[in-house]
Amino acid sequence: MAEDLSQQERDLIANLIRDGKPVPARYIPSISDNPLKTELIWPGKSTLMDTSVLPFQSIEHIDEPRKGTSQQFDLFSMSESTGRQSGGWTNKLIWGDNSLILSSLVNGPMRNEIEKAGGLKLAYIDPPFDVGADFSMDVIVGEDSVKKNPSIVEEVAYRDTWGRGIDSYASMLYSRIKLIHSLLADDGSIFLHCDFRTAGISRLILDEIFGEDKLVNDIVWSYSTSGRPSDRYPQKHDNIFWFSKSKNHRFFIDQAKVPYSPEYLDSHFKDVDDEGRRCRKRFDAGKWRTYYPEDGMIPNSVWDIPYVNSQAHERTGYPTQKPLALLERIIGATTLPGDLVADFFAGSGTTLAAAEKMGRKWIGSDLGRFAIHTSRKRLISVQREASKAGQPFRAFEILNLGGYERAHQVGIEPLLSAEERKIQEIIKRKEFVDLILSAYGALESDQLVPFSGSKGGTAIFIGAVDAAVTQDQVQQAIDAALAVGISRVDVLGFEFEMGISPAMSDAAKEQGLTLTIRYIPNEVFDKRAIAKGQVKFYEAGYVEAKCEVKNKTLQVSLSDFGVFYRQDDADETAAELRNGNAKVVVDQGQVVRVAKDKKGVITKENLTSNWQDWIDYWAVDFDFASQPEVVTVLEDGKEVKKRTGKFIFENEWQSFRTKSDRSLELTSSPFSYAEPGNYSVAVKVIDIFGNDTTRVFKIKVK
């Protein structure tokens, strides 16, 4: 109260207010009717939530793994059953920045879908918490392995998270937990997984956003792994903080029970009831009670669940993978079948796989393309197991923010009217082109339409930031170059229309023009990466396949595949190697084992001499162009559905390698068409690094 202040203090406060200067925090409770509460403060903290709303683009739909015939289904008439799902909730695997994803879920049209699905009942998140972590991972190639480096997008996200120490980590975590809190149902819960590095700051952030009284449990996950430091006790546990959005959180005690361990049964269940059944009799709460082994027990807040070791059946090879048993315990205790579960740092997809197995709906997201690919394979495996056992499963779709996210990054507002957006695009186009030319090492030149610059004697065509490069645009570039005698053209784009293939380059070559199609990487938006020369424009891969049609039945066989990645320089690696050492590198589209013997003699062995070695996964859409992509956008506060001109890849058959099974089928199962006609068949190949290449083939069914 003000009366507690001395006259000198009152004069000091009055002078500060008069001069427009801040009043020291210790005086606020004495001069304000709203005294300060304990608050977590760090440089750069903002309590404002991101309000961006970007439309989600559905790029792939997976509902019937390994389907062999064309069928028609009623509007989700079987509800939770299998089959082509054309209604109801579809599970969602989203690739992109989870800050933009969460903001678009909270504020956009998909919020209505979430509410119709019963609301978000559980969010489990396992943010990166290892300050010195190496996010590279080993990828199997034949009998050997190669280290996959993190993408620049992942490196940038990690650098921005830890670059300024704990302050930047706290900002990252705070903004996302605020959004998750807003998205949760009133009776929903969040489980945040962390270790000793971030347990302190994570707990304080949760306290501030959810309230200290909303802490339900501080769970300790105890595990055993190798490693015995000599200067401290071995660190063998993580923390999992369980907070509820309100006091009426859900806890299903019967579902939370776990089986007794054999040791516990032997030491405690030594009695027999009147019917001769094994039991434990105990005087508890004023009366004798009888417990039976099959009843199970409620675990305490210390969970002894084994780590996923290198030989475990569920092991995916993803470095931060958590055990299924851990997520099954969390999901089982706090949700019911049909409830919606989310994980916005999905990693290898453990939360999503557990949710699918347990009959829950789910949303998962991750920044890493390889994480999305790992999760896709894992979830298809769960679908296959359920289908084989005659059990129900839900369809899932793979989404991203696509061109809308890129437009957002260059400052184009997606929700403007068409006329306003066109004006803004013209203004931002030059900035975007300058950025691409700088990253590509090219010079600006707008003297010849449709080219934006040149590099040496090569003309550079740059596609739109938010749309695919079309066949017509490529043909226009070819015609313009040939008309003035230009012999080399590079076409750069984020996406390419499905019909663009090596055939266009071959046709151009016959006319004396070298045409190269290259992808613009998302890393181009990081100016620091450009300055360091880290941004690589990789030539588009190619897919060759044979489509054999007999009696309305199609079989697709892969016949060739090629990529052009480069992570290392084989010659530089060889020069740096010590005698007697070897290293596997990726150079010019090949995985090469570089070795130097004890005498200094260098040898190079190509581990991907067979094109099949590059393939980790491939899938077929037997009737591509049957599912046009439709996005839902907000215009004047109303939901409006718009066709994008693209098509959703209906993943109807697939073959892929797993850690335990490295085999790969190169011919699809037969697919029978119900009606004759002209069809488009899309073949998608995903390489060992998780990057995809798609080609469309035209067939005629008689």
Give the pLDDT mean for 34-38: 66
Give Dmax (Cα) for the chain: 100
Cβ proximity of 428 and 411 under 8 Å: yes
Mean pLDDT along residues 655-672: 92
- Say which residue, 38 or 188, is predicted with more confidence: 188
Residue 583, beta-bridge partner list: 594
User: Residue 463 contacts by C-beta under 8 Å, 6 or more apart in sequence?
Assistant: 469, 473, 491, 492, 493, 494, 495, 496, 520
**653 has pLDDT over 70:** yes
Question: Are 133 and 437 contacting, i.e. CB atoms less than 8 angstroms apart?
Answer: no
- In this structure, which amino acid lies at residue 352? L
* Cα–Cα distance, 529 to 677 (Å, whole number): 49
Better-scored residue on pLDDT, 374 or 227: 374
Please spell the DSSP secondary structure of 604-658, one letter per residue: EEETT-SGGGGEEEEEEEEEETSSEEEEEEEETTEEEEEEEEEE-EE--EEEE--
The Cα 608–Cα 105 span in angstroms is 42
The residue among 123, 108, 57, 116 whose CA lies nearest residue 88 is 116
Q: The domain at 411-464+467-497+501-531 falls in which architecture?
A: 3-Layer(aba) Sandwich (3.40)
Q: Which two three-digit tokens encode residue 126?
A: 């396992």
Percentage, residues of the chain above pLDDT 90 = 49
Burial of 112 (0-12, 13-18, 19+ CB in 10 A): exposed
User: What whole-number distance in Å separates Cα of residue 188 and Cα of residue 372?
Assistant: 26
Is 333:252 a contact under the CB 8 Å cutoff?
A: yes
User: pLDDT of 138-182, one tens digit each?
Assistant: 777 766 777 676 666 666 666 666 666 788 889 999 999 999 999
What pLDDT score was predicted for residue 77? 32
- Ranges of beta strands (E only) in 315-440 are 340-343, 361-366, 396-400
Helix (H) or strand (E) segment spanning residue 402: helix 402-409
Separation CA 177–CA 393 (nearest Å): 30
Q: What is the mean pLDDT of residues 396-422?
A: 80
CA distance 208 to 563: 49
pLDDT of residue 335: 97
pLDDT band at 212 (very low <50, low <70, confident <90, very high): very high
Angle CA(685)–CA(688)–CA(689) in degrees, nearest 5?
Answer: 100
**pLDDT of 51 strictly over 70:** yes
Q: Which of 3-7, 63-67, 243-247, 644-648 has the lowest mean pLDDT?
A: 63-67
Amino acid letter at 460? I
* Average pLDDT over all residues of the chain: 86
- Of 171, 182, 193, residue with least CA distance to 242: 193
Q: Which CATH superfamily is domain 57-258+298-406 in?
A: Vaccinia Virus protein VP39 (3.40.50.150)
58: part of which helix (H) or strand (E)? Answer: strand 57-62
Q: Which helix or strand (DSSP H or E) is residue 379 part of?
A: helix 369-388
Residue 159 CA to residue 167 CA, distance in Å, equals 12
Q: Give me the residues paired with residue 638 across strands.
A: 635
Q: CA 455 to CA 414: how far, in whole Å?
A: 32
pLDDT digits (tens, 9 = 90+) for 55-111: 999 999 998 666 654 433 333 333 343 344 545 899 999 998 999 999 999 999 999
Q: Are 369 and 151 in contact (CB under 8 A)?
A: yes
Helix ranges (H only) for 211-337 are 253-256, 262-268, 324-334
561 touches 615 (CB < 8 A)? yes
Check residues 418 and 350 and name the one with the higher pLDDT. Answer: 350
Token pair, residue 305, equals: 């669940």
Query: How many of the other CB atoms lie within 10 Å of CB of 210?
Result: 22
Spell out the domain ranges in the chain.
2-31, 57-258+298-406, 259-297, 411-464+467-497+501-531, 542-701
Q: What is the pLDDT of residue 63?
A: 83
> Average pLDDT for residues 445-460, to the nearest whole number?
91
What pTM did the predictor assign? 0.85
Query: Is the separation of the CB atoms in 197 and 246 below 8 Å?
Result: no
pLDDT score for 112 = 93
Report which of residues 308 and 602 the model is more confident about: 602
pLDDT band at 410 (very low <50, low <70, confident <90, very high): confident
Query: CA nearest 111: which of 29, 50, 47, 55?
Result: 55
- Confidence bin at 2 (pLDDT 50/70/90): low
Alpha-carbon distance of 79 to 87, in angstroms, equals 8
Kindly state the average pLDDT of the residues 643-651.
88
AA letter at 107: N
Calpha distance 60→400 (Å, rounded): 10
Structural contact between residues 595 and 603, judged by C-beta atoms closer than 8 angstroms: yes
Angstrom CA distances, 52 to 14, 171, 275, stand at 41, 17, 65
Q: Residue 477: what residue type? A: A
Angle at 407 between CA 404 and CA 411, to 5 degrees: 135
Q: State pLDDT tens for residues 360-382.
A: 999 999 988 889 999 999 999 99
User: What confidence category does residue 484 fall into, taking pLDDT thresholds of 50, 70 and 90?
Assistant: very high
**Residue 67, pLDDT score:** 61
The per-residue pLDDT for 540 is 83
